[in-house]
Structures are given as C-alpha cells and as structure tokens.
Structure 1
Amino acid sequence: MLNSSVMQMIMAKLQLIVLFLLIALAVSAQTVTEKLRTALLHSLPQEKIYLHLDKPSYWVGDTIWFKVYALDAYTHRSDTISSTLFVDIIRTDSSQIIEHQLLKNSNEPIHSSFILSETFRVGVYEIRAYTNWMRNFPEELFFRKEIKILKGNQGRAALDGSARDEIADLQFFPEGGNLVYGLPCRVAFKAINRFGKGVNFKANVISNQNELVADIQSEHLGMGSFSFTPMSGQRYFVKAGKEQKIFYLPEPDPKGYSFFIDNLSDEEFIHVKANCGQCQDKPILFCQQRGTLICSLQSEKEGDSFSWDIKRSEITNEGIVQLTLFNGSGLPQCERLIYSPAQNQLRVFMMPEKKLYGQREKVNLFVRVEDHDGHPVQGNFSLSVTDGSQVTPEEYGMNISNYLHLTSDIFSLTQSELKGTIEQPGYYFDRANKDAAAQLDILLMTQGWRRFIWSDVLSSPQRGAIYPIEKGISISGTALPSNGKAFAKPINISLLSYNAQGMPNYFTTKTGGEGKFQFTGIDATSESRFFLLGPKNNGGKDVKFILDPPDLPAIRRNAISIFYDQASTLQPDTTVSIKNTRFLKEVIVKDSKIKNEPKKDPRRVMYEGLNTYVYKVDQKSCNYYSSVLSMLKGRVPSISIGTKANTKDITSYSSENYTVTLREQRSFNGTLTKVIYLVDGAMVTQGSLDAVRPCDIESVEIITGAVSMLNAHAVISVLSKTGGGTAKDEEGNSYENGVYIKGYHVTREFYSPKYMVTDNMSSQKQDSRSTLYWNPKIKTDDFGRAKVVFWNSDQKTKVNVRLEGISNQGQPVFATTFYSVE
C-alpha cells in the first residue's frame, strides 16, 4: 500500500495534468474565436452602389435619368475609394451591352442619363452598376435592376412574367442548411415560374414509402415553411404544379447539426437552438452584421443539444445579421440569416404647399429630415416627380432603404432564380402588413450571405485583390518594335492627354515583361484622343503600340431572357442602337439597318447634328502659317479672330496671341460667349492648338450654336489628316499612335420649364412630360430642410413624388407623397 507522501505526489501530478488540459481546451477555444475575429477584421473592404431612377419603366424615345449612390458596404456612408464607376444597359436576351458609361466619383453628386433612341427594341433590360474593385467579390454584389422598355402598349402583356403560374422549379431549404436523420427541422421552400417569379401552390410532402408527411401551402410569392423529422433511410418529395412534377427534398445526413432560430416571439432576445446528431461537441455561435462582430458564444460543456439567447440591444443597426454555428474545431456547420428591425428610424416630411394644383402651376415642395428625437439631419438626396397617368409606381418595388438593408447583402439560394434580386422587396417593410416580419423570416431562410463565405475568409493565406482600386481611367497594352519582337530591355514610353478642363497632361511609365505597360489615374471626358510616344532617342516612330481590349465583367444570360424568346408580341424588325459603345467587341449586330449605316466619326460626337461651317485646309499655302488661328483669321464668316496688342506678324506668333469672339453674338447675360477647342475630339486649351501643324490638318469645323454637351456657345474643332494620329508636347516631341479611349461621361442637366402666369396655353405646344421634375442634387441644410420649385404639365392627373437618399451618417432615406392637378 502506498504511503501518504506518494499519494500526495500522485494527486498533485493528476491535478497538474487536469489543469494543463483545461488550459489547453481554453486556449483551443480562444484560438478558434480569435481566428474568427481576426478573419472578420482583416476581410477586404467592400463597396455598395445604388441607382435611383426617375421611373420604373420607359418608352422608346425616353431618357433614363439616374443618381448614383456610391457607399461603403458596411457603414453606408459616402465612399470615395474608387474614382471610376461603370453603368451598363444590358439586353437580357442576347447578353449584349447596349450602353456603357464611365462616371467620375468625386465630392459632387454623381448623376447621369441614357437616351433610349427610336431604334431600341421593346423588351426587358437590366441596368448594372459596379466599380473595378467590386469585381474582386461575387458579381451578385453589383447593383442590378430590371427595367421594361415599351412602345405604346406593345409588349405589355408579354413582359408581365408574374402572370405565369406554372411551376418551373421548387426547392427546399432546411434551416441552417442540413437535414439530419432523427433531428427535427424546419424547412423553407420556394416555387418559381420560368420567369424567376414566385408561384403560389398547395401540395403534400411524401416519403419514398408513399406516406404523407406534411401538407404544405405557400404564403407569399411561392414561399412557406413546414417542420418534420426525417427518418433513417427515407427520402422525401413533393408533387406540384399542373403537371404534378416531382421535386425532391435534400437527402438527409446520418450525422451533423440542425439549427433553429426564433427571431419573432421575444422583443428582448433572439433564441437560438442547435442539436447534434451522432456527435459530442462544444460548438461556437458567431454573429456578425456588416463586418462587425456582435457575439461569439461557445458552449460551456460538450453535448448534443445547445441553446443561446442574444440580446437585441447588442445589435445597433438595422439590416441583415448572419448567425453561423462552428464546431469545436472552427469549421462552419450551419448558417442562418435574420433581420434586425430599425430601432431609431429617420423621419421624413415632404410637403407640397397644397394638395390640389392647376395645369402649369408652380409647385413649391418642402423637405425636412430629422432623427427620432427631432434633431435635424443633413444628407444627400434625389427627387423624381412623375405623371401618375403615364407612370405606374412599382408595387413593393426596390428603393434605397430596402436595397441597402436587405437586397444588397443576400443572394438567392434558388439555383434557377435570377441572382442578386429580391421580388417585391418593399412588401417586407410595409408597416400596414401584419405578416411582413414572418414572411421576411421565411424569405431569409431561402437566402445566403453574399458579402463573404466563411471558408474563403478563414483560408490562410487569404486571397488577395485581383482588380485594383481605380483612381482614374486606365490605359494598358503592349509596346513592340516595328519588327513585332519584344524589346531586349524595358523602355520608357509617354502619354499625352487632356483633362476635363482642356489642360494637357503628360504621363510616363516603363514597360514590364514582354513590353507590357499601363497608365493610370487619367482624367478625360467623353470619347477622348490620346497620343503615345516611344523613346526619344529614336523619335518614338518605330514603336508599335497594341492596346488591351476593354476588360468588362461577363454577362450572364438569365431567366428574364425568355421575355424575348417566348413573347410573340415583341417586334423582331426593330434594332438596337449601339452608339457610344463601338469598342465593345463582344457586341455583334447582324441587322441590315445597322450594317448599311455610314460609319460615324467619333471625333464629332460632341456636336454631331448641329449646324457646322467647314473650312478645308489649302495644302499649298498651309506652310505659310504657324498656327491654326493664324490660318483661320479672316477666313471664317461666323467668328472674329483678332490679335493682341503689339502683335505685328501673324505668321510668327502662337495661338495664345489671338482673341476669338463670335461676330455680333453674346450670351444671355451679356458677356462674351465661351469658345471650346477640340483636336480630333479631345478638348484642349487655346494655347494647345500649337501642338498641331496647319499642314497636318484636313479641315476645321466651326459650330456657333449652343453645344449642350460642352456647355459652350461656340466650338472650333480641328480634324487632322490622320484622324488624330500625331500631336506635339511642349518640348516639340512628336506623339504618334493616336487612339480613342472612352472617358468620363459628360453629364446632361434635366430640363424643367418655367411657366409664367401670363402664358397662353392654347398657343404653345402641349406639355405631356411623364417625368415632370428630376433633381439629383438635393442637400438638406443645418436645419434638415430643403426646398425645390418646379412647374406642372398640361395633364390633369395625380402626380407622384419620390425622395431617396442617404444621411451623412449612412442612414438611407425613402419617402413618397402625391398631389393632384385639375
């Protein structure tokens, strides 16, 4: 028998071993938790983009007016990470980009427009918006919105996909992600038609032994839920639809976790339960919202049944909350999304002076935004006013609030459904809808968290960014000698361009492997001309530049394309205009009408269609002149070119020594009108005209009317013989290889007429605008107030007013009102 001293030694060692085991377990748990925290903290920053459109649908010949909100994905505050934004109009039947714009993200409100020319085909299109940085993440994160383009009543019935009630797909979503034999589980389901729209139905869940398991019935847009316990060895299916198609539930696993979240019954807590079949574990419940950790809770002891309570007060923001269950080893087992409602919503007051107006009457509209305590709120907003007899508001449609809080953070798990869209998102935020919260909870059982996937975030090392943050327009390509072989060593190349103010910019870089080069941070508007220069020791003339084609995200054909394939009322003989998107090589147009059109000169895009005087350069006498303006002096009827004081010899002075004015024409405010200068479509300063030799010019075009795209009343456009293939910098270096690159889109302003009381309505053209007013630049003052003024049209109608925007603190604002015109 052991003596007491030996026993004490043994007991001390056992206690030490137990202590070490407890410490090891604690360190292990801490390691898993800290790994999750670190992964969340170091995940790449993300952006969100939202577009406010003036209307939900359009007619051929209309203009789409839109405001862009570029935001930080987590704080929802204005984001300036990316300086360049891309907005596309995509034809969903052929996966073609019909219109493509580059917009500059600066401190000013970002807004633009698309003109829907008469050649647009009736159908369903998609507007897509993104940044280059957003391409590092799933493309479901891009902003996408479906719009319908109509021509009279043509195509209305065919484009209404929601009218089709045949089930094309029915899928089932066990809560948390898995069915496990022997564990009770709630299962959500969703039925959709071939258009991707929800279809309501009734059916039975049946086992493979032909036993009735449950009666199910959808509650909203084909969605609903039921509970059951899968039995070992059984498979389950549903027969649904007119054709009684068979749709199988997921096959249960022999072991694993089941998950149950109660987000509705308790105003103070969210209740979470988990069961583990055929296992003993200490799982961890991890909760996050928009990249911010809410809680990390680990079970205190091993077992097969667990429960947690999460205080709602710990969730400070409105929106999606991601709850993920990890096993003791830190591997994700279950996931569920819930919605945290707003605790302190902003209040918006939008008030016209009265509810009843007359035709062409002036409207004063007052806006006030305040927080829940009545304090004023400053922010950035946009306002659309539309004719209710022509524009029908979307029922439960997308707005900036439900997009930022819901749609932008989740994606559909239904494989057949259009990714990145939520049908009728406004339904779940209708305060008059008593079932909204319950239906939203079911919706979120059919959705996945789209901002990141835990397996990617936890991978070590994490995947880096492939697409860089853009701080301007980029030009890349390959520089090769005239023989086409790579240079033996890197060479210096330069780029000459002109910024939005017409000032020349010079960029230099050195080629990399195989002659690759890239210029970044370029600021240019519209379709601009750029000039490339090789090494100075050989004049750059033996360097061949091959530009990289535009790198655009892939376009996925989706269920909406059926509108074109199946809708017999759509007219096949109409064509699609691809003006301003000629560089998109993947756009192939086979229509004979497009083929037979003469090729348009992109150098004239700024003033095409305006009255133009053309001066043809005399090649015999051009050597007599040293500059463009000296050559034009006294030879153009619509402008007057004079010389500054003490200028005697007009052949020996630069363009800056001349004054240019319009003959007997002044602007509305009495000052001399503004003259803009272009060289092969690129805006330049007057002094920069010296970069072009007169004998290199084919013609000079003079426009002396209002040129809205350039905000000018006169334009002098110089067109070179080579189409802009040559230019000179201040040192006299010759820049060859002129190329056109699409620059930032030139913004147009919405025209809103101002009617006077004395106007005679019968003597003027009928005003039947569908959009009465559009203002993308509204900002509330220190008192949270703003005022806008506009005039009604000639229509006796209900007028709908819609305000969207974001506060300086990142809170979305959405409000509507209306008044009548009689």
Structure 2
Amino acid sequence: MLQKLILLSVLAFMNYANAQDKAEQALQNFEQKYPQEKIHLLLNKSNYIAGENIWFKSFVFEGYNRSSVSTNLFVELYDRNKTQISKAIFPLYNGEGNGSLSLPETLKEDVYYIRAYTTWMANFSEDFQWIQPIEVYNPASPEKLISDTTSPWSVTVFPESGTFVHGINTQFAVRLQSNGITPSDWSGYVIDSANPDIKIVSFKGFDQNVGSFNLTPESGKKYQLIVQDNKGIKQNIDLPFVSASGLNLQVKSKTNAITYSIQSKNTPHSSYKVLGTINNQLVYKARISNLSNEKTYTIPTDKLVNGILQLTVFDDKEQVIATRLCFVQPQLLNIKQPSIQNVSLSDIPHETNTFTIAKDPNYSNYSVVVLDEESQSTETEKSLLSTLWLTGDITSKIYSPAQYFGKNHNTEALDALLISEKWKRFDWNTLISGSFPAIRYTPESYLSYKGKVSGPSAGSSALNLISKTDQENGTKLYQIPTDDSGIFTFNNLIFEGTMKFFYQLSGKQKTSNATNVYVQPSYTFIPYKSNLPATNFKLAARTPNEPLPVEVAKAVKSKAFEKSISEKINTIEEIRLTGQKKDDKRKLNQQLSSSLFKSISEDIFDFVNDKNTLVAGSNILQFLEGRVANFQMRMSNGSLTPFLREAPVPVFLNEMKIDPSQITNISVADVAMIKVIKDHFIGAGPGGGRQAIAIYTHQGGEAKLSDEELKQLPGLKSITLNGYSKEAVFNNAVYDNASLKDTGKDTRTNLYWNPYLEVKSDTPTTVRFYNNDDAKGYKILIIGFDENDTPLYYYETKP
C-alpha cells in the first residue's frame, strides 16, 4: 500500500486558516469517496485471424494496488465505426480475472477495438477505460492492413511547470503526435525570429514521443522551434510569450530524494504552499516564505513508492501558480523477479520444453505466456508496468509506453514526457470549488439480480429459489426475503452460461400456483460515447494473387493446424484437455462451499472420498500443521490460535465465523471438508478477506430439500438467469498424444498460455509446453503480485 509522507515544514511552517486548507480538505474527500480504478489486459498474442479466439488476463487496480472495489469486468469488441460486435462479462477475484472473446469468421481485415471497464469506472471519464486496438487479418477481404507511415505528425512544446519567465533558465519538453507513426529519428533547434540564421540551442529527440532542451529567455524576444525528421519534413512552432514576471518550478527526481527549486520574478506574493500528491493522496506539504533563488528543497523518497508525483505551487490566495509531474525513483523500479531454474528448451519440432519457477511463499499464482521468439506480445508496446505507473492515469497517446519501464529505460526521456503532461485524474480548481463526480453506478457484488414476486401473499414472505443444473454444484436452495411489495434482491452468484431456478414461496403459500417471479440483472453494459482512438494502420486495396505477409501467412496456417488438432482430439476418446477433468474433491468443494468462499488459492482436504485422512480423536486444526505451508498453532492471549503466514487466521464453520476454541466441540466424524483459503474471498464481510480456515460438516452447505420437494421440481415454475461468459479452452497439451505430432505444419506463435498458474509455496512451479515446427528461441512472460501488491514482472527471450 502507498505509504503517507507528510512534511509539515521546509522553511517555516505556519498554521493555515480554514479557507487556505480547502485544497487539502477537497483532496481528502476525493481520495476517500472516489477511488480510481484502472485496467490492464494481457492478451495471448498481438494480432489475430478472423475466426480465432482472443484470450486475455485482466488486472484491475485501485491506484497502485489490485482493486477490491469491483467484482465484474465488462469486455466489448468494436469495429472502427464503433459498431459493437460482441460483449461479455467476467468475474474478478482480488482485482484479477481471465476470459476469452471469439472473433467471427466473417470479420473483414481491419483494426478492431477491445473495450474493458468496470461499473465503477463508468462514473468517471471514459478516457480511463481500457481501449486496445488489435489487428485482425482475413486474406479473403478486399482490403488489407498496412502501417500508416504517411500521416502527418505535429509538434507541441511545454515549458517546465507551464511558465516561461525572463531570465530564468527553463527546460522545455518537445512532444510529437500523429494519427499514424511518429518519426523515430528527429531533431530540432531554437531561433530568435529576429535572427533566424543563428541556432540558439539544438537537440535530438529521445524517442518517437519526446525530446528536450533548455533556454534562458529574454523579454521582448520571440522564439521559434524548428523540428525536422529524417525525411527532411519540417515543422515550425512559436515558443510561448516571454513573461516579465512569474514563477518557475524546477524538479529533479533522484534515487534518494526528489529536489525542487522555485524561482520567481516580480511576483506579488510573499509566501507559497507546495503540495505533493501520488495517486490522489497527499504525500507532501510545505510552506515557503521569503523565496530565494538559491534554495533547493528536498523530499526524501524512502517513504514513497514508484509512481507519478504531482507537485503543485499555490499562492497565499490558494490559486494554482505552477504544477509539475515527475516519476518517483525511475532509476530504482520496485519490480520483483522470479528465479528461473532447470531450463530445458529445444529447437526440435514438437519437442517438450520445460522450466521451473523457484518456490516463493509470497505468491499464490502467476500469469505465464510463452511465445515464439519471432512473434510479438502486446506487452512489448503497452506493458502492465506502463499501465500501472503511466498510461492508467495519463490519457494522451504515447507511442510504446512500455519502453519507459523496460530494460535500459531512459529516465531522462520519461521525465521530459511528464513535463509535457498534466495529471488527468483531477483538477485542483474543480476540487477546491467543491465539484465532485456524480455517482450514477455502484459496484455489484458479482452477479446480482433484482426481482418482484407477484400474486397472493407475495409481500413480506420468503422466496425459495432452487437451482438444478448439470454443472458441478448440483441442487441448492436459496431462501430470499421479500419486502411488503414483493421486491427482492439476489446477490453474489458466480456461474457460467445459464442456470435455471425453480421457485416457490416458503410457508403456507409455497404451493400457490398463482405466484409469478420477474427478475432482471442489477448490472448493465454501459454504452461507449467517446470516439475510438486513431491507430498506426490504414487500409489499402488488396491485389489479386498478392502474397500474404510472412506473419499473416503463418497465422493462417496456425489456425488451420489448431482446427485439425481439435478435430483429432475430439475423435480420440482418451485425450482430455488439461484442467478439464473434474475430480471428486473439486465436486465436493463446489457442493459444500458457496461463491462467497471461493478463492483463486485454496488448499482442500476431502474427508468424504478419503476417509482415512482425518483419524478419530485428532484435533481438526492441529491436523493442518505440517500439511499447510506457513500454518502453525500458537498460544495467543491464553488460548491456542491458528496462524497462517505469521498472522492469526479466522475460522469458519459452514461459512459462519466461530471462535477457534469451539473447534473442540465438533465431532471428527462430522467433518466433510476443510478448506484453507490463501487469497482474497468475499465471505469475510465488507471488502472481503485474504485468508481463512473453512470447515464444513456433512450437512454444511448442502441443499436441504426433502425427497418430496425434489420430486416436485419439474412441476414448479422456473426462471432462467444468465451467468458469466464462458471462457474457451486453450490447448497447452498439443502433443500429449504422440499420434498428433504428424498433424500438418505447426506454426503456432503462442506456445503456452496460463492466466492462472497455481503455485505451491513449498515446491517449485513447473511450466511445460511443446515446440512448433520453426521456433529457435522463446519469449517468456511471467507476471505476479505478492501480498503487498508489489509487481513481479519477467519478460525475457531465451535462445
């Protein structure tokens, strides 16, 4: 979590009047009531063929931590005309989720757009929603995609902190923009319009986004910037008017501290307030009197985190004078790295490749992708790190933002980029005026429905909803109260596809045939109002018999190969796709535990199917010692208390919280299952919890329906509810059956995809995948988060 740093003085701190504290009060209100979510989607590859599936892993953050605000992710697919092609909804667990979208076979070759958002995000600017352009190829289309290298580019200049004052040496950021691709090789120089043949200062662009230069201006002079690319194309732009008075804020971000200085000319104010914010949180506050041009002020970074710091200077009337964005410790990014061991990679077609991730008790799962070395991941251009630390809060178009947080990243270029930007999450003047976002949408609790019971005695009764499905969870009874008008809500459902619910009123009215139930979802897909962004591609006519680009030709063959594999698998009875076999333990977990007590990381002990595991007379909690990593029973406050990962862990009996001392009253013979939850789950109450021990008896969680009631089910009225969208199965086990190794030309680029690779804390984690026909090297991507939400990020090429 972000740690707060409040410095109450730099020179001489003075108490402010209430009116002068408006900024701090408004910011605190905004931070507490309006948490800011942002999304990153990891796709299984960077481009697709019509008819393929798009697989994705979603990460939803609140600031720099995984979000607990939203439990549903909405994903939509649009064409360039903003016509919606498909939409889907997927669950989020502790800010993470995964799913897939199917591309129709009939899609024309073009750029399409994936939109992802949460209901809570819809209360704020659409600019913060995830919009991902993707290239979809279709050789049958009359038009083809080509890179847009002909669209004109434009240039804009930004003086540091927004001011350009006579006699003050000022740093400028020079920013390039284009609807197509900006030039990679460009330079510029500054002239005085009165002496155009003399170059006052020259510079070379850092990258395709930004360059920088310094200039000490003189009043009365008019300066011009000339920028030229490697094709000789020039752009001229006037620098801002040189002011005879004003204030300039200059900032340097170093490893141990952020330093800043404030220089002024002929300003009427005697004192200033400086506020520093990270992720809408106040982390620095100072009062400066008797301003001196020689003084440099220091903000230690030891209590801050990586992220964008906004420094704002206010005058004594609490008016914004200057602002500046900088990145905290860009030279020292807090990114953890996995230890990759036992690497066994081959370039022989169809061979098995393996590597292991060393055991680490701080992680419960990883997202892992392996690509052919010659292919590209979407992470190459827009990485999780760049979303987390930059583009999730900065909405302007940035070419390849991942470069600012990769290996050998240019910290000088990142700083110049931030000089050219403003903080987009809030505006100080708007906050101080008391204007806050209007909240129209509240987060749902997973799948939620609202309904009404009509008919005699419908009000103030209990409605029995009975689910009966072919899925694992079998038959369950939900008893839901209704108000005087027969209105009810039905929350916290997690299921895929559709589910039928039979209904009846409880008590005397339950057999009434005059009762009807009407239900509608509480969640809704929210229309997208903004324009879709421009892309780096355009369409051109495809000529007859034109050869396909190499990458597209490989993708077409890969699609045919995967179809052939799928057809063969369906004819071989003994082949079972990885992860699809449902064992007795999993069935028991589905039967006994509700959606509120499901977690992405849990250890399950099954005493129904393995009757010899828990012996008579043993203590239920002590049984877990030695079987669950980092679990211990300790004396605490005079009683024996369970600890998991060095913290007391709550105990639930049939999903009701109990004191651990009550466990001794439970008969061992009554225990059906013990589940040790190691990651976020909803059942702990508001906000959920991170870990728990859930004990289930043979009656706990089972549907309490009599034989007679079960016989009545076909005769009861029913409703059908829509659940989450189903995720397509990704086949990592391509050649588990040796007879499949002779199936056509294998040109797959995505060799392994696992958005949730479960980790055992006491053993290494093995990744196993099969080679295609051509790969000589592999790109390996691993993403994870520890309990403090510190990102683990590994993106390397292995020969």
Q: In the alignment, what sits opposite 1:289?
A: 278
- The equivalent of 2:154 in structure 1 is 169
The 3 A distance-change label for structure 1 pair 756 and 228 is: closer
Partner Cα separation in structure 2 for residue 516 and residue 670 of structure 1: 39
Structure 1 residues 785 and 318: alpha-carbon distance in aligned structure 2, compared to 1, 3 A threshold: farther
Pairwise CA distance, 1:366: 0.4
TM-score, normalised to structure 1, is 0.63
Tell me, in whole angstroms, the C-alpha distance in 1 between the residues paired with 2:122 and 2:342. 43
Match of 1:338, SS?
strand
Aligned pair partner of 1:557 in 516, 521, 531: 531
Cα distance change on mapping 1:43 and 1:237 into 2, 3 Å: farther
Q: Is the CA contact (8 Å cut-off) linking 1:511 and 1:517 kept in structure 2? A: no
- Cα distance 1:360–1:222, how it changes in 2: closer, same or farther (>3 A)? closer
Q: Which amino acid aligns with 2:362?
A: V
Mark the structure with the bigger radius of gyration: 1
Contact 2:448 2:489 in 1 (8 A): yes
Unmatched segments (≥5 aa) in structure 2: 1-11, 545-569, 571-579, 588-710
Corresponding residue number in structure 2 for 1:62: 52
Quote the Cα distance in structure 2 between the aligned partners of 1:399 and 1:189. 24
Equivalent residue letter for 2:399: E
Shift of 1:774: 1.1
The 2-side partners of 1:353 and 1:743 are apart by: 41
Residue 261 of structure 1 contacts residue 271 of structure 1 at CA under 8 Å; is this kept in 2? yes
Helix, strand or coil for the counterpart of 1:447? coil
Between the aligned partners of 1:119 and 1:779, the Cα distance in structure 2 is 37
Q: Is the counterpart of residue 44 in structure 1 residue 34 in structure 2? A: yes
Q: Alpha-carbon deviation of 1:126?
A: 2.5
2:605 maps to none
1:386 paired to 2:371: yes
Partner of 1:328: 316
What is the CA–CA distance in structure 1 between the aligned matches of 2:789 and 2:388, rounded to whole Å? 10
* 2:99 aligned partner: 112
Provide the identity percentage.
23
Residue number in structure 1 paired with 2:76: 88
Equivalent position of 1:275 in the other structure: 264
The aligned counterpart of 1:743 is 723
CA distance in structure 2 between the aligned counterparts of 1:26 and 1:670, rounded to whole angstroms: 66
Tell me the TM-score normalised to structure 2 length: 0.65
Match for 1:392: what amino acid? Answer: Q
Once residues 24 and 130 of structure 2 are traced to their aligned partners in structure 1, the CA distance between those partners, rounded to angstroms, is 33
Query: In structure 1, what residue type is equivalent to 2:357?
Result: V
Q: Structure 1 CA distance, aligned partners of 2:777 and 2:495?
A: 43
The CA distance in 2 between the partners of 1:749 and 1:756, in whole Å, is: 16
Q: CA-to-partner distance for each residue in 1:699-718, whole Å, 9 max, x for gaps? A: xxxxxxxxxxxxxxxxxxxx
What's the counterpart of residue 122 of structure 1? Answer: 109
- The number of equivalent residue pairs is 611
CA-to-aligned-CA distance 1:232-269 (integer Å, 9 cap, x gap)? 566655455667555444456675432211225x8555
1:683-698 map, 5 Å: none
Question: Could you tell me whether the CA contact under 8 Å between 1:171 and 1:190 is conserved in 2?
Answer: yes
Aligned-residue RMSD, C-alpha: 4.8
Q: Distance in 2 between matches of 1:23 and 1:757?
A: 74
Paired residues of 2:346 and 2:353 also in contact (CA < 8 A): no
The residue identity in structure 1 corresponding to 2:59 is: Y
Which residue number in structure 2 is paired with residue 472 of structure 1?
Answer: 446
Aligned to 1:426: 402
* CA spacing shift, 1:454–1:57, aligned 2, 3 Å: same
- Tell me, yes or no, if the aligned pair for 2:385 and 2:402 is still in contact at 8 Å: no
Q: Write the deviation string for residues 391-422 of structure 1: whole angstroms up to 9, x where unpaired.
A: 2346942222232122223233xxxxx4xxx3
The letter for the 1-side match of 2:174 is F
Correspondence 1:160 to 2:147? yes
Partner of 2:390: 406
- Quote how far apart the aligned CAs of 1:277 are: 4.4
- Residue 429 of structure 1 aligns with an amino acid whose one-letter code is F
Q: CA deviation at 1:506?
A: 7.1
- Whether contact under 8 Å (1:200, 1:223) holds in the other structure is no
Alignment of structure 1 residues 237-248 onto 2, 5 Å = 237-238=224-225, 246-248=236-238
1:318 pairs with 2:289: no
What amino acid maps onto 1:525 in structure 2?
Answer: E
Could you say which residue in structure 2 is the equivalent of 1:803? 782
In 1, are the aligned partners of 2:260 and 2:297 still within 8 Å (CA)? Answer: yes
**Residue 367, structure 1, aligned to residue 357, structure 2:** yes
Which SS does the other structure have where 2:415 is aligned? helix
Give the 3-state SS of the residue equivalent to 1:364 in structure 2.
strand
Amino acid across the alignment from 1:279: P
CA distance in 1, matches of 2:298, 2:30: 19
The amino acid across from 1:449 in the alignment is W
Aligned AA (1:270)? T
Residues 44, 56 of structure 2: 8 Å contact kept: yes
Aligned ranges 1:610-621 → 2 under 5 Å? none
Unpaired runs of at least 5, structure 1: 1-21, 371-375, 413-417, 482-489, 572-610, 612-666, 675-727
Paired letter, 1:378: Y
SS at match of 2:385: helix
SS in structure 2 at match of 1:42: helix
Residue in structure 2 matching 1:458, options 432, 445, 449: 432
Q: Say which SS state the counterpart of residue 147 (structure 1) adopts.
A: strand
Alignment match, 1:603? none
Amino acid corresponding to residue 470 of structure 1 in structure 2: E
Q: Secondary structure at the match of 1:176?
A: helix
Q: Which residues in structure 2 correspond to 1:253-652 (within 5 Å)? A: 255-263=245-253, 268-275=257-264, 277-299=266-288, 301-303=289-291, 305=293, 307-339=295-327, 340-341=329-330, 342=332, 345-351=335-341, 353-368=343-358, 377-389=362-374, 391-393=375-377, 396-412=380-396, 418=397, 422-432=398-408, 436-460=410-434, 462-463=436-437, 465-474=439-448, 501=473, 503=476, 523=494, 525-526=496-497, 539=514, 550-560=524-534, 563-564=537-538, 567-569=540-542
Give the deviation of 1:325 after TM superposition: 1.5
Between 81-90 and 207-216, the greater mean CA deviation after superposition: 207-216
- Partners of 1:424 and 1:335 lie apart in 2 by 25
For residues 590-635 of structure 1, the C-alpha deviation after alignment (integer angstroms, 9 at most, x for no partner) is: xxxxxxxxxxxxxxxxxxxxx9xxxxxxxxxxxxxxxxxxxxxxxx
Shift in Å, 1:550 = 4.8
Taking structure 1 as reference, are residues 442 and 531 closer, same or farther at Cα in structure 2, changes over 3 Å only? farther
CA spacing shift, 1:791–1:480, aligned 2, 3 Å: same
Question: Structure 1 residue 132: deviation in Å?
Answer: 0.6
Aligned partner letter, 2:442: P
Distance in 1, Cα, partners of 2:156 & 2:13: 46
- SS of the counterpart of 1:449? coil
Cα 1:795/1:563, change in 2 over 3 Å = closer
**Aligned-partner residue type, residue 336 of structure 1:** R
Alignment of 1:812 onto 2:777: no
Inter-partner Cα distance in structure 2 for 1:148 and 1:731: 49
Partner of 2:598: none
Counterpart mapping for 1:202-217 below 5 A: 202-205=187-190, 214-215=201-202, 217=204
- Pair 1:495–1:386, CA change in 2 (3 A): farther
Structure 2 counterpart of 1:681: none
Contact 1:294 1:315 in 2 (8 A): no
3-state DSSP class of the match of 2:101?
strand
Letter in 1 for 2:47: S
Q: Write the deviation string for residues 551-596 of structure 1: whole angstroms up to 9, x where unpaired.
A: 51425334526845x544499xxxxxxxxxxxxxxxxxxxxxxxxx
For each residue in 1:429-458, what CA deviation from the matched residue of structure 2 results, as whole angstroms up to 9, or x when unmatched?
34335xx01111111112222333333443
SS at match of 1:432: coil
Change over 3 Å in CA distance of 1:153–1:124 after alignment to 2: same
**Change beyond 3 A, Cα 1:463–1:254:** farther
What do the CA deviations read for 1:735-762 (whole angstroms, capped 9, x no partner)?
7xx7x87531123332223646965844
Instruction: Look up the SS of the partner of 2:301 in the other structure.
Output: helix
1:519–1:280 Cα change, 3 Å: same
Secondary structure of the structure 2 residue equivalent to 1:467: coil
CA contact (8 A) 1:274 1:307 kept: no
Give the distance between the partners of 1:785 and 1:529, measured in 2 at CA. Answer: 42
